[in-house]
A and B are shown apart, each in its own frame.
Chain A
Amino acid sequence: MQKDAFKVLVPTGMLGYGFPEKWFLEGLKRNPDMISVDSGSTDSGPQKLALGEMTCSKEAYYKEIRFLVTEGKKHHIPVFISSAGGDGTNGHVDLFVDLAKQAAAETGLKLRIGVIYADIDKNLILQRMKEGRVKPCGGNVPELTEKDVHDAVEVVAQMGSEPYARLWDREGYCDVVISGRSYDPSPMAAMAIHEGFDPGLAWHMAKIAECGAMCAEPMCKTLLVTLKKDCFYLESMDPAGYCRTYSVAAHTLYEKSHPYLLKGPGGTLNLKDCVFEQVSDRVCRVSGSRFIPDKKYTVKMEAACPVGYRSICVCGTRDPIMIEHIDSTLKSVRNMVKETFPEEYAQSQLIYHVYGKNGVMGELEFTHQVAHELCIIIEVASPTQEMARILCNKARTTLLHFPYEGRIATGANIGLPFTPLEIPLGKVCKFNIYHLMELNDPCEVFPYKVMEVE
Protein backbone atom coordinates (compact mmCIF):
# COMPACT_ATOMS: atom_id res chain seq x y z
CA MET A 1 0.00 0.00 0.00
CA GLN A 2 1.23 3.45 -0.89
CA LYS A 3 2.38 5.70 1.93
CA ASP A 4 0.39 8.88 2.37
CA ALA A 5 3.56 10.97 2.68
CA PHE A 6 7.19 10.74 1.60
CA LYS A 7 9.66 12.86 3.56
CA VAL A 8 13.19 13.81 2.61
CA LEU A 9 15.71 15.45 4.89
CA VAL A 10 18.34 17.47 3.00
CA PRO A 11 21.20 18.46 5.33
CA THR A 12 22.67 21.04 2.95
CA GLY A 13 22.72 22.05 -0.70
CA MET A 14 26.34 21.02 -1.18
CA LEU A 15 28.20 18.27 0.64
CA GLY A 16 31.45 19.57 2.11
CA TYR A 17 30.33 23.18 2.67
CA GLY A 18 29.42 22.43 6.30
CA PHE A 19 26.03 22.53 8.05
CA PRO A 20 24.85 22.83 11.66
CA GLU A 21 24.30 19.35 13.10
CA LYS A 22 21.66 20.71 15.46
CA TRP A 23 19.06 21.41 12.77
CA PHE A 24 19.79 18.16 10.97
CA LEU A 25 19.14 16.22 14.21
CA GLU A 26 15.92 18.21 14.63
CA GLY A 27 14.92 17.02 11.15
CA LEU A 28 15.61 13.39 12.07
CA LYS A 29 12.90 13.62 14.74
CA ARG A 30 10.39 14.09 11.92
CA ASN A 31 11.04 10.52 10.68
CA PRO A 32 12.22 11.19 7.11
CA ASP A 33 12.15 8.37 4.55
CA MET A 34 15.50 9.33 3.08
CA ILE A 35 18.46 11.64 3.59
CA SER A 36 19.75 13.13 0.37
CA VAL A 37 22.68 15.40 -0.36
CA ASP A 38 24.20 16.38 -3.66
CA SER A 39 27.80 17.41 -4.16
CA GLY A 40 27.80 18.19 -7.87
CA SER A 41 28.15 21.35 -9.90
CA THR A 42 29.87 22.70 -12.99
CA ASP A 43 29.64 26.16 -11.46
CA SER A 44 33.18 26.46 -10.19
CA GLY A 45 34.70 25.74 -13.57
CA PRO A 46 36.06 23.22 -16.08
CA GLN A 47 39.33 22.58 -14.20
CA LYS A 48 37.59 20.17 -11.83
CA LEU A 49 36.60 17.75 -14.58
CA ALA A 50 39.77 18.26 -16.60
CA LEU A 51 42.27 18.02 -13.74
CA GLY A 52 40.42 15.68 -11.38
CA GLU A 53 39.99 18.36 -8.70
CA MET A 54 37.22 18.13 -6.12
CA THR A 55 34.98 21.00 -4.97
CA CYS A 56 35.90 20.52 -1.29
CA SER A 57 38.71 18.80 0.57
CA LYS A 58 38.70 15.09 1.37
CA GLU A 59 38.71 16.01 5.07
CA ALA A 60 35.61 18.19 4.71
CA TYR A 61 33.79 15.40 2.84
CA TYR A 62 34.83 12.77 5.37
CA LYS A 63 33.53 14.72 8.34
CA GLU A 64 30.08 15.04 6.80
CA ILE A 65 29.91 11.55 5.30
CA ARG A 66 30.83 10.00 8.65
CA PHE A 67 28.19 12.02 10.47
CA LEU A 68 25.45 11.34 7.91
CA VAL A 69 26.04 7.59 7.55
CA THR A 70 26.23 7.17 11.33
CA GLU A 71 22.95 8.99 11.90
CA GLY A 72 21.29 7.31 8.91
CA LYS A 73 22.29 3.85 10.10
CA LYS A 74 21.20 4.59 13.68
CA HIS A 75 17.70 5.57 12.50
CA HIS A 76 17.49 3.10 9.59
CA ILE A 77 17.18 5.88 6.98
CA PRO A 78 19.07 5.51 3.68
CA VAL A 79 21.62 8.21 2.85
CA PHE A 80 22.01 9.23 -0.82
CA ILE A 81 25.14 11.11 -1.87
CA SER A 82 25.21 12.10 -5.54
CA SER A 83 27.76 13.58 -7.98
CA ALA A 84 30.67 12.50 -5.79
CA GLY A 85 33.46 15.06 -5.49
CA GLY A 86 31.71 17.68 -7.61
CA ASP A 87 32.28 16.26 -11.07
CA GLY A 88 30.93 12.79 -10.28
CA THR A 89 33.69 10.83 -12.03
CA ASN A 90 34.31 7.17 -11.25
CA GLY A 91 37.51 8.08 -9.39
CA HIS A 92 35.63 10.38 -7.04
CA VAL A 93 32.84 7.84 -6.55
CA ASP A 94 35.46 5.31 -5.46
CA LEU A 95 37.05 7.90 -3.17
CA PHE A 96 33.68 8.61 -1.52
CA VAL A 97 33.12 4.87 -1.12
CA ASP A 98 36.50 4.66 0.63
CA LEU A 99 35.43 7.49 2.95
CA ALA A 100 32.23 5.61 3.80
CA LYS A 101 34.28 2.45 4.43
CA GLN A 102 36.62 4.42 6.68
CA ALA A 103 33.60 5.73 8.59
CA ALA A 104 32.28 2.18 8.99
CA ALA A 105 35.68 0.97 10.23
CA GLU A 106 36.01 3.79 12.74
CA THR A 107 32.48 3.60 14.11
CA GLY A 108 32.12 -0.19 14.02
CA LEU A 109 29.00 0.09 11.86
CA LYS A 110 28.09 -2.51 9.27
CA LEU A 111 27.12 -0.72 6.05
CA ARG A 112 25.50 -1.93 2.88
CA ILE A 113 26.66 0.48 0.19
CA GLY A 114 25.10 0.88 -3.25
CA VAL A 115 27.36 2.45 -5.87
CA ILE A 116 26.32 3.87 -9.27
CA TYR A 117 28.86 5.10 -11.82
CA ALA A 118 28.45 7.76 -14.51
CA ASP A 119 31.65 7.77 -16.62
CA ILE A 120 30.85 7.37 -20.30
CA ASP A 121 32.85 5.23 -22.71
CA LYS A 122 34.24 7.44 -25.50
CA ASN A 123 33.66 4.70 -28.10
CA LEU A 124 29.97 4.74 -27.33
CA ILE A 125 29.87 8.52 -27.84
CA LEU A 126 31.67 8.23 -31.20
CA GLN A 127 29.23 5.52 -32.27
CA ARG A 128 26.16 7.56 -31.24
CA MET A 129 27.60 10.59 -33.07
CA LYS A 130 27.73 8.52 -36.27
CA GLU A 131 24.10 7.52 -35.68
CA GLY A 132 23.14 11.20 -35.32
CA ARG A 133 22.09 10.68 -31.70
CA VAL A 134 24.26 13.35 -30.07
CA LYS A 135 23.37 17.04 -30.17
CA PRO A 136 24.49 20.26 -28.44
CA CYS A 137 22.74 21.14 -25.18
CA GLY A 138 21.56 24.67 -25.94
CA GLY A 139 22.03 27.16 -28.75
CA ASN A 140 25.45 28.36 -27.62
CA VAL A 141 27.17 24.96 -27.78
CA PRO A 142 28.94 23.93 -31.01
CA GLU A 143 28.36 20.55 -32.67
CA LEU A 144 30.48 17.82 -31.10
CA THR A 145 33.56 16.71 -33.06
CA GLU A 146 35.64 13.55 -32.78
CA LYS A 147 38.53 15.76 -31.66
CA ASP A 148 36.45 17.03 -28.71
CA VAL A 149 35.81 13.45 -27.63
CA HIS A 150 39.50 12.54 -27.91
CA ASP A 151 40.62 15.73 -26.10
CA ALA A 152 38.20 15.21 -23.21
CA VAL A 153 39.94 13.92 -20.10
CA GLU A 154 36.90 12.07 -18.75
CA VAL A 155 33.29 12.19 -19.87
CA VAL A 156 30.42 11.91 -17.41
CA ALA A 157 26.67 12.06 -17.95
CA GLN A 158 23.95 13.24 -15.61
CA MET A 159 21.86 10.24 -14.64
CA GLY A 160 18.11 10.48 -14.20
CA SER A 161 15.88 8.73 -11.70
CA GLU A 162 15.93 5.27 -13.32
CA PRO A 163 19.42 4.08 -12.24
CA TYR A 164 18.45 4.70 -8.60
CA ALA A 165 15.12 2.92 -8.98
CA ARG A 166 16.83 -0.05 -10.64
CA LEU A 167 19.34 -0.34 -7.81
CA TRP A 168 16.51 -0.35 -5.26
CA ASP A 169 14.39 -2.80 -7.25
CA ARG A 170 17.17 -5.28 -7.85
CA GLU A 171 19.23 -4.99 -4.68
CA GLY A 172 16.79 -3.79 -2.04
CA TYR A 173 17.65 -1.55 0.88
CA CYS A 174 21.08 0.10 1.07
CA ASP A 175 22.30 2.13 4.04
CA VAL A 176 24.21 4.42 1.73
CA VAL A 177 24.03 5.09 -2.00
CA ILE A 178 27.05 6.84 -3.49
CA SER A 179 26.69 7.86 -7.09
CA GLY A 180 28.50 9.53 -9.93
CA ARG A 181 27.29 12.52 -11.91
CA SER A 182 23.57 12.97 -11.46
CA TYR A 183 21.01 15.54 -12.40
CA ASP A 184 20.86 17.09 -8.93
CA PRO A 185 17.23 16.20 -8.15
CA SER A 186 17.47 12.59 -9.40
CA PRO A 187 17.94 10.58 -6.17
CA MET A 188 15.03 12.25 -4.38
CA ALA A 189 12.75 12.16 -7.41
CA ALA A 190 13.67 8.51 -8.00
CA MET A 191 12.77 7.32 -4.53
CA ALA A 192 9.55 9.35 -4.41
CA ILE A 193 8.41 8.05 -7.81
CA HIS A 194 9.44 4.55 -6.76
CA GLU A 195 7.11 4.89 -3.77
CA GLY A 196 4.26 5.68 -6.17
CA PHE A 197 4.13 9.48 -5.93
CA ASP A 198 3.36 11.78 -8.86
CA PRO A 199 6.48 12.35 -11.04
CA GLY A 200 5.70 16.05 -11.60
CA LEU A 201 5.51 16.79 -7.89
CA ALA A 202 8.44 14.50 -7.14
CA TRP A 203 10.75 16.24 -9.64
CA HIS A 204 9.66 19.72 -8.59
CA MET A 205 10.10 18.93 -4.90
CA ALA A 206 13.54 17.48 -5.61
CA LYS A 207 14.55 20.42 -7.81
CA ILE A 208 13.91 22.87 -4.98
CA ALA A 209 15.18 20.62 -2.20
CA GLU A 210 18.50 19.66 -3.77
CA CYS A 211 19.81 23.07 -2.70
CA GLY A 212 18.79 22.46 0.91
CA ALA A 213 17.07 25.40 2.57
CA MET A 214 18.30 27.95 0.01
CA CYS A 215 14.61 28.43 -0.81
CA ALA A 216 14.03 29.89 2.66
CA GLU A 217 14.33 33.52 3.65
CA PRO A 218 16.97 34.08 4.86
CA MET A 219 18.75 31.19 3.12
CA CYS A 220 19.47 28.31 5.49
CA LYS A 221 21.05 24.86 5.21
CA THR A 222 18.77 22.01 6.29
CA LEU A 223 15.39 21.44 4.66
CA LEU A 224 12.60 18.93 5.24
CA VAL A 225 10.26 18.27 2.33
CA THR A 226 7.04 16.31 2.65
CA LEU A 227 5.47 14.95 -0.51
CA LYS A 228 1.79 14.05 -0.53
CA LYS A 229 -0.49 12.71 -3.23
CA ASP A 230 -1.39 16.12 -4.66
CA CYS A 231 1.16 18.60 -3.26
CA PHE A 232 4.38 19.01 -1.30
CA TYR A 233 5.47 21.07 1.70
CA LEU A 234 8.82 22.76 2.38
CA GLU A 235 10.15 23.67 5.80
CA SER A 236 13.55 24.93 6.93
CA MET A 237 14.77 23.01 9.98
CA ASP A 238 16.52 26.13 11.22
CA PRO A 239 13.62 28.12 12.71
CA ALA A 240 15.26 31.33 11.47
CA GLY A 241 14.39 30.33 7.88
CA TYR A 242 10.95 31.05 6.44
CA CYS A 243 9.85 29.22 3.29
CA ARG A 244 7.87 32.07 1.75
CA THR A 245 5.82 31.59 -1.40
CA TYR A 246 8.04 34.08 -3.24
CA SER A 247 11.34 32.67 -1.97
CA VAL A 248 10.29 29.14 -2.98
CA ALA A 249 8.93 30.31 -6.34
CA ALA A 250 12.13 32.30 -6.91
CA HIS A 251 14.24 29.26 -6.18
CA THR A 252 12.23 27.21 -8.69
CA LEU A 253 13.70 29.23 -11.54
CA TYR A 254 17.20 29.57 -10.09
CA GLU A 255 19.99 28.69 -12.56
CA LYS A 256 17.49 27.44 -15.13
CA SER A 257 17.21 28.61 -18.74
CA HIS A 258 13.42 28.88 -18.71
CA PRO A 259 11.20 30.01 -15.82
CA TYR A 260 8.68 27.17 -15.91
CA LEU A 261 9.89 24.55 -18.43
CA LEU A 262 12.72 22.68 -16.73
CA LYS A 263 14.38 20.08 -18.94
CA GLY A 264 16.02 17.09 -17.29
CA PRO A 265 16.92 13.50 -18.12
CA GLY A 266 13.93 11.85 -19.75
CA GLY A 267 11.54 14.76 -19.79
CA THR A 268 10.47 18.29 -18.97
CA LEU A 269 9.00 19.60 -15.76
CA ASN A 270 6.18 22.02 -16.59
CA LEU A 271 5.46 24.46 -13.77
CA LYS A 272 3.27 26.91 -15.66
CA ASP A 273 0.19 26.13 -13.62
CA CYS A 274 1.90 25.70 -10.28
CA VAL A 275 0.41 27.18 -7.14
CA PHE A 276 2.60 28.32 -4.24
CA GLU A 277 0.66 28.78 -1.00
CA GLN A 278 1.65 29.93 2.46
CA VAL A 279 0.26 27.40 4.96
CA SER A 280 2.01 28.87 7.99
CA ASP A 281 4.59 31.61 8.30
CA ARG A 282 7.38 29.08 7.88
CA VAL A 283 5.90 26.44 5.57
CA CYS A 284 5.11 26.69 1.86
CA ARG A 285 2.82 24.32 -0.06
CA VAL A 286 3.31 23.68 -3.77
CA SER A 287 0.94 21.96 -6.19
CA GLY A 288 0.19 21.74 -9.91
CA SER A 289 3.63 20.62 -11.15
CA ARG A 290 3.59 18.32 -14.18
CA PHE A 291 6.24 16.06 -15.74
CA ILE A 292 6.11 15.53 -19.52
CA PRO A 293 8.27 12.55 -20.63
CA ASP A 294 10.42 12.93 -23.76
CA LYS A 295 9.84 10.65 -26.76
CA LYS A 296 13.58 9.91 -26.92
CA TYR A 297 15.44 9.53 -23.63
CA THR A 298 18.57 11.69 -23.51
CA VAL A 299 21.20 12.44 -20.87
CA LYS A 300 23.49 15.44 -20.67
CA MET A 301 27.20 14.68 -21.03
CA GLU A 302 29.92 16.88 -19.56
CA ALA A 303 33.66 16.95 -20.18
CA ALA A 304 36.57 19.37 -20.15
CA CYS A 305 40.17 19.51 -21.32
CA PRO A 306 43.29 21.62 -20.70
CA VAL A 307 43.94 24.31 -23.32
CA GLY A 308 47.23 25.80 -22.10
CA TYR A 309 49.04 27.36 -19.16
CA ARG A 310 48.59 30.75 -17.57
CA SER A 311 50.62 33.35 -15.73
CA ILE A 312 49.19 36.52 -14.25
CA CYS A 313 50.55 39.71 -12.76
CA VAL A 314 48.47 41.81 -10.35
CA CYS A 315 49.22 45.55 -10.62
CA GLY A 316 47.72 48.68 -9.10
CA THR A 317 47.84 52.29 -10.21
CA ARG A 318 46.78 55.42 -8.36
CA ASP A 319 48.32 58.14 -10.53
CA PRO A 320 45.56 60.24 -12.17
CA ILE A 321 47.63 60.96 -15.28
CA MET A 322 48.39 57.26 -15.76
CA ILE A 323 44.70 56.44 -15.24
CA GLU A 324 43.71 59.04 -17.83
CA HIS A 325 45.96 57.32 -20.39
CA ILE A 326 45.34 53.73 -19.35
CA ASP A 327 43.85 52.51 -22.66
CA SER A 328 46.62 53.85 -24.89
CA THR A 329 49.26 52.69 -22.40
CA LEU A 330 47.99 49.12 -22.32
CA LYS A 331 47.76 49.11 -26.12
CA SER A 332 51.40 50.23 -26.42
CA VAL A 333 52.50 47.59 -23.92
CA ARG A 334 50.74 44.94 -25.99
CA ASN A 335 52.50 46.12 -29.14
CA MET A 336 55.89 45.98 -27.45
CA VAL A 337 55.28 42.43 -26.20
CA LYS A 338 54.23 41.45 -29.70
CA GLU A 339 57.30 43.07 -31.31
CA THR A 340 59.72 41.49 -28.83
CA PHE A 341 58.26 37.97 -28.91
CA PRO A 342 56.33 37.68 -32.20
CA GLU A 343 56.31 33.87 -32.38
CA GLU A 344 55.34 33.38 -28.77
CA TYR A 345 52.73 36.14 -28.96
CA ALA A 346 51.12 34.48 -31.98
CA GLN A 347 50.60 31.27 -29.97
CA SER A 348 49.37 33.04 -26.85
CA GLN A 349 46.62 35.29 -25.55
CA LEU A 350 47.34 38.48 -23.61
CA ILE A 351 44.31 39.82 -21.76
CA TYR A 352 44.02 42.84 -19.47
CA HIS A 353 41.49 42.88 -16.66
CA VAL A 354 41.12 46.50 -15.59
CA TYR A 355 39.25 46.68 -12.28
CA GLY A 356 37.92 50.14 -11.55
CA LYS A 357 37.04 50.47 -15.22
CA ASN A 358 35.42 47.32 -16.62
CA GLY A 359 37.06 44.37 -14.84
CA VAL A 360 33.81 42.56 -13.98
CA MET A 361 31.62 43.20 -17.01
CA GLY A 362 34.31 43.57 -19.68
CA GLU A 363 32.93 44.72 -23.00
CA LEU A 364 29.39 44.79 -21.56
CA GLU A 365 30.27 47.57 -19.12
CA PHE A 366 27.81 50.41 -19.68
CA THR A 367 29.15 53.19 -17.46
CA HIS A 368 32.11 55.32 -18.49
CA GLN A 369 33.01 56.25 -14.94
CA VAL A 370 36.59 55.31 -14.00
CA ALA A 371 37.67 54.89 -10.39
CA HIS A 372 40.39 56.89 -8.61
CA GLU A 373 42.59 53.79 -8.57
CA LEU A 374 42.76 50.81 -10.91
CA CYS A 375 43.77 47.21 -10.49
CA ILE A 376 45.20 45.79 -13.69
CA ILE A 377 45.57 42.04 -13.94
CA ILE A 378 47.72 40.93 -16.84
CA GLU A 379 46.62 37.46 -17.95
CA VAL A 380 48.72 35.46 -20.38
CA ALA A 381 47.76 32.02 -21.70
CA SER A 382 50.32 30.05 -23.73
CA PRO A 383 51.05 26.47 -24.76
CA THR A 384 53.70 26.17 -21.99
CA GLN A 385 54.07 27.63 -18.50
CA GLU A 386 57.48 29.05 -19.39
CA MET A 387 56.15 30.88 -22.44
CA ALA A 388 53.31 32.35 -20.37
CA ARG A 389 55.85 33.52 -17.80
CA ILE A 390 58.09 35.15 -20.41
CA LEU A 391 55.25 37.12 -22.02
CA CYS A 392 53.73 38.09 -18.68
CA ASN A 393 57.16 39.27 -17.52
CA LYS A 394 57.64 41.34 -20.67
CA ALA A 395 54.20 42.94 -20.26
CA ARG A 396 54.80 43.66 -16.59
CA THR A 397 58.26 45.21 -16.99
CA THR A 398 57.11 47.27 -19.97
CA LEU A 399 54.08 48.57 -18.09
CA LEU A 400 56.25 49.33 -15.05
CA HIS A 401 58.37 51.90 -16.91
CA PHE A 402 56.29 52.85 -19.95
CA PRO A 403 56.59 56.59 -20.69
CA TYR A 404 52.87 57.32 -21.13
CA GLU A 405 51.80 60.75 -22.34
CA GLY A 406 52.14 63.50 -19.75
CA ARG A 407 53.97 61.34 -17.22
CA ILE A 408 55.56 63.23 -14.34
CA ALA A 409 55.88 60.28 -11.94
CA THR A 410 59.07 58.79 -13.28
CA GLY A 411 59.68 56.31 -10.43
CA ALA A 412 57.49 53.52 -11.79
CA ASN A 413 53.92 53.27 -13.06
CA ILE A 414 52.42 50.47 -11.01
CA GLY A 415 52.27 49.23 -7.43
CA LEU A 416 52.86 45.48 -7.18
CA PRO A 417 51.39 43.70 -4.15
CA PHE A 418 52.49 40.09 -4.67
CA THR A 419 55.49 37.91 -5.30
CA PRO A 420 56.23 36.15 -7.45
CA LEU A 421 55.55 39.20 -9.60
CA GLU A 422 54.44 36.85 -12.37
CA ILE A 423 52.27 34.23 -10.73
CA PRO A 424 52.11 30.85 -12.50
CA LEU A 425 48.54 29.53 -12.50
CA GLY A 426 49.27 26.17 -14.10
CA LYS A 427 46.85 24.61 -16.58
CA VAL A 428 43.82 26.47 -17.86
CA CYS A 429 40.91 24.32 -19.03
CA LYS A 430 37.65 24.60 -20.93
CA PHE A 431 34.38 22.70 -21.14
CA ASN A 432 34.44 20.93 -24.49
CA ILE A 433 31.50 18.53 -24.16
CA TYR A 434 28.09 19.72 -23.04
CA HIS A 435 25.88 17.60 -25.24
CA LEU A 436 22.79 15.44 -25.08
CA MET A 437 23.11 11.79 -26.02
CA GLU A 438 20.23 9.44 -26.71
CA LEU A 439 20.17 6.26 -24.67
CA ASN A 440 18.59 2.95 -25.61
CA ASP A 441 17.64 2.53 -21.98
CA PRO A 442 17.79 5.13 -19.15
CA CYS A 443 20.18 2.88 -17.20
CA GLU A 444 22.34 1.93 -20.20
CA VAL A 445 25.49 3.86 -19.20
CA PHE A 446 25.13 3.79 -15.40
CA PRO A 447 26.41 0.48 -13.99
CA TYR A 448 25.98 -0.29 -10.30
CA LYS A 449 27.32 -2.57 -7.59
CA VAL A 450 26.55 -3.28 -3.96
CA MET A 451 29.02 -4.04 -1.17
CA GLU A 452 28.84 -4.87 2.51
CA VAL A 453 31.50 -3.29 4.71
CA GLU A 454 32.21 -3.12 8.41
Chain B
Amino acid sequence: MRTVMDVAKIVRSKNSGPFEITMDIIFKNSEDYHRFLESHVLTKEWICRTYHVTPEQVYCLEKYDAANAIKITLPRPRAQGTIGETDMHAAQQHVPLLYLPFPD
Protein backbone atom coordinates (compact mmCIF):
# COMPACT_ATOMS: atom_id res chain seq x y z
CA MET B 1 0.00 0.00 0.00
CA ARG B 2 1.20 3.49 -0.80
CA THR B 3 1.77 5.96 2.01
CA VAL B 4 1.56 9.74 2.28
CA MET B 5 5.29 9.88 1.54
CA ASP B 6 4.67 8.46 -1.94
CA VAL B 7 1.90 10.88 -2.85
CA ALA B 8 2.18 14.23 -1.04
CA LYS B 9 4.03 17.24 -2.42
CA ILE B 10 5.04 18.57 1.00
CA VAL B 11 5.08 16.97 4.44
CA ARG B 12 6.83 19.15 7.01
CA SER B 13 7.01 20.28 10.62
CA LYS B 14 8.21 23.62 11.96
CA ASN B 15 7.97 25.94 14.93
CA SER B 16 4.98 28.20 14.96
CA GLY B 17 6.50 30.49 17.54
CA PRO B 18 8.59 29.10 20.43
CA PHE B 19 5.75 27.15 22.07
CA GLU B 20 3.95 25.38 19.23
CA ILE B 21 4.80 22.92 16.50
CA THR B 22 2.85 22.99 13.27
CA MET B 23 2.78 20.30 10.60
CA ASP B 24 1.50 20.47 7.05
CA ILE B 25 0.56 17.82 4.51
CA ILE B 26 0.10 19.36 1.07
CA PHE B 27 -1.03 17.34 -1.94
CA LYS B 28 -0.17 17.94 -5.58
CA ASN B 29 -3.80 18.11 -6.66
CA SER B 30 -7.30 18.23 -5.24
CA GLU B 31 -7.97 14.64 -6.29
CA ASP B 32 -5.20 13.23 -4.04
CA TYR B 33 -6.19 15.68 -1.31
CA HIS B 34 -9.84 14.63 -1.31
CA ARG B 35 -9.02 10.97 -1.59
CA PHE B 36 -6.81 11.22 1.48
CA LEU B 37 -9.41 13.20 3.44
CA GLU B 38 -12.13 10.70 2.61
CA SER B 39 -10.01 7.82 3.91
CA HIS B 40 -10.20 9.35 7.44
CA VAL B 41 -6.86 7.88 8.52
CA LEU B 42 -5.65 11.17 9.97
CA THR B 43 -7.82 11.60 13.05
CA LYS B 44 -7.51 13.49 16.30
CA GLU B 45 -7.16 10.12 18.07
CA TRP B 46 -4.22 9.14 15.86
CA ILE B 47 -2.53 12.49 16.55
CA CYS B 48 -3.03 12.15 20.32
CA ARG B 49 -1.60 8.63 20.30
CA THR B 50 1.34 9.46 18.05
CA TYR B 51 2.34 12.82 19.49
CA HIS B 52 1.46 12.09 23.14
CA VAL B 53 -1.05 14.94 23.47
CA THR B 54 -4.59 15.25 24.81
CA PRO B 55 -7.49 16.13 22.47
CA GLU B 56 -7.51 19.67 23.96
CA GLN B 57 -3.87 20.06 22.94
CA VAL B 58 -4.69 19.53 19.28
CA TYR B 59 -4.89 23.30 18.74
CA CYS B 60 -5.55 22.89 15.07
CA LEU B 61 -6.55 20.04 12.78
CA GLU B 62 -7.88 21.85 9.75
CA LYS B 63 -8.06 21.38 6.02
CA TYR B 64 -7.47 24.20 3.55
CA ASP B 65 -8.99 23.53 0.15
CA ALA B 66 -7.27 26.44 -1.61
CA ALA B 67 -3.86 24.80 -0.96
CA ASN B 68 -4.92 21.10 -0.91
CA ALA B 69 -3.47 21.21 2.57
CA ILE B 70 -4.04 19.80 6.03
CA LYS B 71 -2.55 21.51 9.06
CA ILE B 72 -1.95 20.14 12.54
CA THR B 73 -0.78 22.39 15.38
CA LEU B 74 0.26 21.00 18.77
CA PRO B 75 2.16 22.14 21.84
CA ARG B 76 5.88 21.82 21.24
CA PRO B 77 7.26 18.57 22.70
CA ARG B 78 9.57 20.77 24.83
CA ALA B 79 10.32 24.47 25.16
CA GLN B 80 12.33 25.80 22.24
CA GLY B 81 16.08 26.07 22.47
CA THR B 82 16.43 25.43 26.17
CA ILE B 83 17.67 22.51 28.34
CA GLY B 84 17.00 19.15 26.66
CA GLU B 85 16.12 20.51 23.21
CA THR B 86 16.51 17.98 20.39
CA ASP B 87 15.15 19.97 17.45
CA MET B 88 15.50 23.78 17.61
CA HIS B 89 13.27 24.43 14.59
CA ALA B 90 10.93 21.47 15.31
CA ALA B 91 11.68 20.57 11.72
CA GLN B 92 12.10 16.77 12.07
CA GLN B 93 8.90 15.83 13.90
CA HIS B 94 6.79 15.21 10.80
CA VAL B 95 8.06 11.68 10.17
CA PRO B 96 5.06 9.71 11.54
CA LEU B 97 2.87 11.52 8.97
CA LEU B 98 4.98 10.12 6.12
CA TYR B 99 3.87 6.58 6.94
CA LEU B 100 0.12 7.20 7.04
CA PRO B 101 -1.55 4.91 4.50
CA PHE B 102 -2.80 6.49 1.28
CA PRO B 103 -5.85 4.71 -0.17
CA ASP B 104 -5.45 3.03 -3.58
Q: Which residues of A contact B (CB under 8 A)?
A: 42-47, 137-141, 246, 249-250, 252-260, 271-276, 307-308, 310, 349, 351, 353, 359-364, 366, 379, 381, 428-431, 434
15 additional contacts (CB under 8 A) given A255-B22, A307-B83: A137-B17, A139-B57, A139-B75, A140-B76, A246-B67, A249-B69, A255-B16, A259-B24, A274-B66, A360-B92, A361-B87, A366-B96, A428-B82, A428-B83, A434-B18
> Which residues in chain B, 40-65, are within 8 Å of chain A measured between CB atoms?
50-52, 56-57, 59-60, 62-64
| Contact across chains for B19 and A138 when beta carbons are under 8 A apart | yes
Given contacts A139-B75, A257-B22, A258-B71, contact A363 B83 (CB under 8 A): no
A300 CB to closest chain B CB (Å) equals 8
Chain B: CB-nearest residue to A246: B9
| Contact across chains for A364 and B88 when beta carbons are under 8 A apart | no
| Contact across chains for A364 and B51 when beta carbons are under 8 A apart | yes
6 nearest A-B pairs in the assembled complex, by CB-CB distance: A45-B81, A249-B67, A259-B64, A140-B75, A430-B82, A259-B71
Q: How many residues of B contact A (CB 8 A)?
A: 48
B52 CB to closest chain A CB (Å) equals 6
A-B contact list, 12 entries, CB within 8 Å: A43-B89, A44-B89, A137-B17, A140-B20, A246-B26, A253-B24, A259-B71, A360-B87, A362-B77, A362-B86, A366-B95, A429-B82
Residues on B with beta carbons closer than 8 Å to the beta carbon of A257? 16-17, 20, 22, 59-60, 73
Q: Which residues of B contact A (CB under 8 A)?
A: 9-10, 14-20, 22, 24, 26, 28, 50-52, 56-57, 59-60, 62-64, 66-71, 73, 75-84, 86-89, 92-93, 95-96
CB within 8 Å: A-B pair count: 151
B96 CB to closest chain A CB (Å) equals 6
| Contact across chains for A431 and B19 when beta carbons are under 8 A apart | yes
Residues on A with beta carbons closer than 8 Å to the beta carbon of B70? 259
| Contact across chains for A250 and B17 when beta carbons are under 8 A apart | no
| Contact across chains for B67 and A253 when beta carbons are under 8 A apart | yes
Q: A246 CA to B68 CA in the complex, in Å?
A: 8
Given contacts A249-B67, A360-B86, contact A255 B14 (CB under 8 A): yes
Q: Give the residue of A138, A366, A429, A430 whose beta carbon is less than 8 angstroms from that of B50.
A: A366
Residues on A with beta carbons closer than 8 Å to the beta carbon of B59? 138-140, 257
